[in-house]
Structure 1
């Protein structure tokens, strides 16, 4: 029973991160429906973070009202940048790239997050590039395979696979369909910059979150602070950019569902889960699951939104799963090595401490007696052997 419980505890971060990607995939579907309904992407982001503030502060008051650590200026400072890079700036840059260039480009650039996070983690000393170790080789190779699979899934189509949809094409139920505008060269260049900026922003947030989880280990409270900072930033930006006040009305059902779900689940529960996983396994572990979202989005688009499924999507999905397995296997090997080295170090320190204590408590007469006893034992052993 203990072994089964240990296996469950070891698999908990993996299962939670899979659920995170399922939640993010649902957000992409809801984003499409909300934009199709004519809602501004900046206002969607603002409302999403407003709902997240209400939800996360409620959890913090319920579970961490008496146990959360002291709030310092350093924690507030980190919360500000955590909300900036992980929520308000990231969402606006990502959706701006999707609007100015294409959804294909925005999705492809987003899958560079593991590589950027790996580079930043090495630069900050959170990860070690040990290519001589088997685990290190698996992490590097798995990251490359995962990114390659995501690029193949995005850019290569191949033969179309006929999939029977379980529901109607939701995007084309309304007569009014809002399409992304065709960008000129100037707008397209800006969209490219925004796309790479969103990638760097999310990777930088994972690094900041790993620092903040150690500085302020209360996950509910830290997520609430991050959501509050991000909501203020996103709302201020939306008020500055959007001049049409009718955009702020949540008249349709799809708008209410979109902002409520993305706020409570994606910016509330999911961020809490990510913060816990970053603390337990590090930012690199979290970032390698991002390409998995492409597989889930491809399936969701095919089954729910009437999008076509191609052979390239299947091959890319298989490569993504293989890459994830290699990274997780390499990370597991490194964790085993660390766990094996820690007990030996503790034992050596314990033995050294006992020797020091014995040497300081034994007087000269006792030490002479012990030396004579050891000498007699040696002579007896030699006599028996001979």
Structure 2
């Protein structure tokens, strides 16, 4: 949310979103180059095959396209709308994971039911938090106009740019879900998160720069001064394109796409909490209700994932393979085969 706000502030001062994306990826790539080089020299890493490189290039195409659509949508609207529509990511990811058979979905399984219900509850809670305000709880200067505020104020805008922004942001978050799924697939055969993120950023830098030069051929638009534009580019490159992508890759490799995206609705809760604590924002009853619903949904998903892992462990113990079968069972099997 903070990075989106910085970007919005930069665009208000004339920063083009295509230029922003290209520079942010370039910052991340520049920092990752020496880190990845020395890291690969000091540890054993899997080899890069043509198939893996092709998938990483595809990942770069999807990721850079997602970023271009997303920042274009924010330039037409606001970070609040972007965060609100971003709550569709868990739903998109869950559907894609089921289609790609990365997630098991059994109607009679408690773990599957919990994951589905938890995802729905979290998304519903995030929309409640975003679209419903209610009466203020913490506000030193509460007055009647605040009490009479209605929900979904930003959706009343008659400006057609909001509709365009919504379409762009939905496309962005759908591609983001595809990006998560593809990363999981790559990490299964290439479990090197740092190298993956580096080559992804290289690909995204090349693609976003090419698109940027095509869309924004004016050299003056590529000049960045020592102002909020430079700050937003550096912060987005370091925290958005580098650190968060490395953490995402590590978490995706460890827990999968559905688990990682189930935390997505929490970003609105964190944004609201930080706004109240540091920006003297008003805390509304809708924020409390929405945060509570999100927490219930999140813990439901986590419970479902934990239950699924327990069921898988019990299943593996119930049907041992020849390698880990008990000695007595192996002896009985061998004896019966000899008698036959």
Q: Provide the TM-score with structure 2 as the length reference.
A: 0.85
Q: Compute the displacement of 1:305 (Å).
A: 5.0
Structure 2 counterpart of 1:82? 59
**Corresponding residue for residue 210 of structure 1:** 184
After superposition, what is the alpha-carbon deviation per residue over 1:39-89, rounded to whole angstroms, capped at 9, x for unaligned? 222222111111111222333222223522222221121111212223x11
**Deviation string, structure 1 residues 327-363 (Cα, Å, up to 9, x no partner):** 0111011111112222343366624544455567x8x
Structure 2 partner of 1:142 = 118
Q: Which residue is equivalent to 1:345?
A: 319
SS in 2 for 1:57: helix
Residue 318 in structure 1 maps to residue 292 in structure 2 = yes
Instruction: Measure how far apart 1:233 and its partner are.
Output: 1.3
Structure 1: segments with no counterpart, 5+ residues: 1-24, 165-181, 368-386
User: Contact 2:8–2:78 at 8 Å: present in 1 too?
Assistant: no
Q: Does residue 1:158 correspond to 2:134, yes or no?
A: yes
Q: Is contact 1:78–1:212 with CA below 8 Å preserved after alignment?
A: yes
Match of 2:4 among 28, 53, 72: 28
Give distance in 1, aligned partners of 2:333 and 2:39.
Answer: 45
**Local SS of the residue matching 1:194:** helix
Structure 2 equivalent of residue 238 of structure 1: 212
Distance in 2 of aligned mates of 1:279 and 1:138? 22
Equivalent in 191, 197, 208 of residue 165 of structure 2? 191
Of 230, 233, 257, 1:259 maps to 233
Q: Work out which of the residue numbers 14, 17, 23 in structure 2 matches 1:47.
A: 23
Aligned positions of 1:59-208 closer than 5 A: 59-65=35-41, 67-86=44-63, 88-162=64-138, 184-185=159-160, 187-208=161-182
Find the aligned partners of 2:2 and 2:12 in 1 and give their Cα distance: 15
Q: Taking structure 1 as reference, are residues 102 and 27 closer, same or farther at Cα in structure 2, changes over 3 Å only?
A: closer
Q: Is the 8 A contact 1:43 1:248 kept in 2?
A: yes
Q: Does structure 2 conserve the Cα–Cα contact (< 8 Å) formed by 1:53 and 1:228?
A: yes
Deviation at 1:107, TM superposition (A): 2.3
Alignment of 1:276-355 (within 5 A): 276-305=250-279, 307-346=281-320, 350-351=325-326, 353-355=330-332
Change (3 A) 1:353 1:246: farther
| CA deviations over 1:211-241 (Å, ceiling 9, x no partner) | 0101211111011011111111111122222
Structure 1 residues 228, 296: closer, same or farther in 2, change over 3 A? same
Aligned positions, number: 320
Cα separation, partners in 2 of 1:110 and 1:358, compared to 1, 3 Å: same
Q: Which ranges in structure 2 are unaligned for 5 or more consecutive residues? A: 141-156
Instruction: Give the Cα–Cα distance (whole angstroms) in 2 for the partners of residues 64 and 163 of structure 1.
Output: 53
Name the CA shift for 1:355/1:346 in 2 (closer, same or farther; >3 Å): same
Looking at structure 1, the residues matched to 207 and 296 of structure 2 have their Cα atoms a distance apart, in angstroms, of: 39
Partner of 1:222: 196
Contact residue 64 and residue 218 of structure 1 kept, 8 A: no
Q: Which residue of 1 aligns with 2:146?
A: none
Check 1:219–1:92 CA distance in 2 against 1; reply closer, same or farther (3 A cut).
same
- Cα distance in 2 for partners of 1:77, 1:221 equals 14
CA distance in 2, matches of 1:40, 1:217: 36
User: With structure 1 as the length reference, what TM-score do the two structures score?
Assistant: 0.75
CA deviations over 1:240-277 (Å, ceiling 9, x no partner): 22244333333224333322222122211211111121
Residues 184-213 of structure 1 deviation map (CA, whole Å, 9 limit, x = unaligned): 54x554333212211210110111011010
